[in-house]
Structure 1
């Protein structure tokens, strides 16, 4: 294992310390926790929004803490759900009296721990709403989930719910637009290489020299199939076909596209993937409102990518276009 780390058991603590040093104008860390919140939290008159999960997916989720997106992110150990007490601390820190929305990716540990934290917060009189992201069309049930996994489409949920919250909407309104976003976003990914959790010291799975996995999850969960390496166009076609089979789109519909790198994929290759994605959508007369290409939800040093499509209406377009100022996402 070759990694730029100190103690394999301290990587999250060291990362968060470095993040605060680099971005102290935007972020602060709750003492004795792995919780990152907005520098100005709690924001008066605003619904608080919290997300989180295991670390190793940077910039998700602390990279999206800031104006127009999240108020707090709870960072578990690598690929491990954060604990209920840390999630509760985040809820308490961002609540301004208008309530808090929890954006949860559909993994069993996250679901259980965020729900426990929500119950504890409600017992203290804090209003809490929850939305579960399950955008991955690859598999219905997996190693870590019952139902579909939550992957890079989660970033669209952060952005749109965050924009409406910034406008002073109620908790019910923010929850509704977050659920609407979940209903209209679909994603699918693939892996070229595995990744290594620092504390494990060895790759979490194996792929042969000329082998790839279609539908791979962001923790290395199995996908649809292992197959020999294919061209970028062929891979883009496979991923997009699966998405389009699940997302009801028709001619002249409007979408946002995210081409997400998993940690070790050059931008060159992500843009090559997008070239084919845009060609296919153009042929189908589906309008691309905006494209996001880069690393939004990674898997340590895994090579590979995911594609996300968000079907837009006027409300979602306006909120996607609204101002945001975070480390990893600016509008």
Structure 2
């Protein structure tokens, strides 16, 4: 294993210190328990939007803390859910009378620990609600989940819910919008090579030189099938077929297309794949009204991509376009 780290046991803490040093105008960091908090939190009269999960998927979630997105992120150890006390600390640091929305990816540990923290907050008199995102079309269940996994759609959900909270929407409205996004977003990922978790020291799985894992999870969990490597045109077609047919998306739909690097895929390949996806969607009569391309939900250095489609309406477009200023996502400011 070759990584730019000191000690696997301190990699998350040291990374958070670097985040705090680089973006002190946007976030502040607590180390014990680990929480990344919007610099001006708590914001009076505003619904707090909080998310989190295992580290190793950066910039998710810590990189999305700031104006127009998350009020706090709760990072666990690499590929490990944060503990309830850490989530509770995030709630206490950001939440006032307007309440809070917890955005939870559908992994067993995340669901249980965020649920526990929400119950503790409720006992303190705070109005804290949770939504669970499960946008991965690859599998019904996995090692980590009961039901579909939460993957690329999480980025879009955090942006839209965060924008709604920023414009002053009530908790009822923010929650309703979040559930709308969850119902209208679908994703699938593929891997060409595995990541290496620092405290393990070896790749999470083995792939032959001519193999691709189709339907991979963001922790390296297996997907639908292992296939032979194929040209980008065929691979992107296979991925879009799986996503489009699941909702299904249809002729006349407007969508946000999110083409994501899993951490180790260079931009030249990512934009190539995105261009193919845009053309294939146009051929189906589906309009790409908004797009996002880049490494926004990763799996350490996994070589691979994911494609996410979100069906849009005018309100979702307005919320997507709203100003955002975080370490990893910024426009309109």
More displaced stretch, 278-287 vs 110-119: 278-287
- The separation in 2 between residues aligned to 1:279 and 1:7, in whole angstroms, is 45
Is 1:107 aligned with 2:107? yes
Deviations along 1:122-156, whole A, 9 cap, x unmatched?
A: 00111111110000000000110000000011011
- The separation in 2 between residues aligned to 1:258 and 1:108, in whole angstroms, is 25
RMSD value, Cα: 0.8
**Following TM superposition, by how much is the alpha carbon of 1:96 offset from its aligned partner in structure 2, in angstroms?**
2.3
Deviations along 1:64-91, whole A, 9 cap, x unmatched?
A: 0000000000000000000000000000
Deviations along 1:192-217, whole A, 9 cap, x unmatched?
A: 00011100111111111111100010
Is 1:97 aligned with 2:97? yes
**Following TM superposition, by how much is the alpha carbon of 1:182 offset from its aligned partner in structure 2, in angstroms?**
0.6
Residues matched between the structures, number: 331
State the partner residue of 1:186: 186
- The separation in 2 between residues aligned to 1:146 and 1:37, in whole angstroms, is 30
**Following TM superposition, by how much is the alpha carbon of 1:252 offset from its aligned partner in structure 2, in angstroms?**
2.1
Dislocated runs of 4+, deviation >4 Å: none
**Following TM superposition, by how much is the alpha carbon of 1:31 offset from its aligned partner in structure 2, in angstroms?**
5.0
- The separation in 1 between residues aligned to 2:286 and 2:158, in whole angstroms, is 24
Deviations along 1:248-282, whole A, 9 cap, x unmatched?
A: 32222110000000010001101111111111111
> TM-score, normalising length from structure 2?
0.98
Matches within 5 A, 1:68-217: 68-217=68-217
**Following TM superposition, by how much is the alpha carbon of 1:330 offset from its aligned partner in structure 2, in angstroms?**
1.3
Unaligned runs of 5+ in 1: none
- The separation in 1 between residues aligned to 2:269 and 2:47, in whole angstroms, is 39
- The separation in 2 between residues aligned to 1:59 and 1:206, in whole angstroms, is 25
Give the secondary structure class of the aligned counterpart of 2:308.
Answer: strand
State the partner residue of 2:251: 251
State the partner residue of 2:273: 273
State the partner residue of 2:285: 285
Instruction: Tell me if the contact between 2:135 and 2:185 (Cα under 8 Å) persists in the aligned partners.
Output: yes
Unaligned runs of 5+ in 2: none
- The separation in 2 between residues aligned to 1:112 and 1:250, in whole angstroms, is 35
- The separation in 2 between residues aligned to 1:19 and 1:108, in whole angstroms, is 28
Q: 1:31 to 1:2 in 2, by over 3 A?
A: closer
Deviations along 1:277-299, whole A, 9 cap, x unmatched?
A: 11111111111111111001000
Matches within 5 A, 1:214-225: 214-225=214-225
Give the secondary structure class of the aligned counterpart of 1:24.
Answer: coil
Give the secondary structure class of the aligned counterpart of 1:192.
Answer: strand
- The separation in 2 between residues aligned to 1:24 and 1:89, in whole angstroms, is 20
- The separation in 2 between residues aligned to 1:203 and 1:31, in whole angstroms, is 28
Deviations along 1:74-113, whole A, 9 cap, x unmatched?
A: 0000000000000000001010221010000000000000
Is 1:30 aligned with 2:30? yes
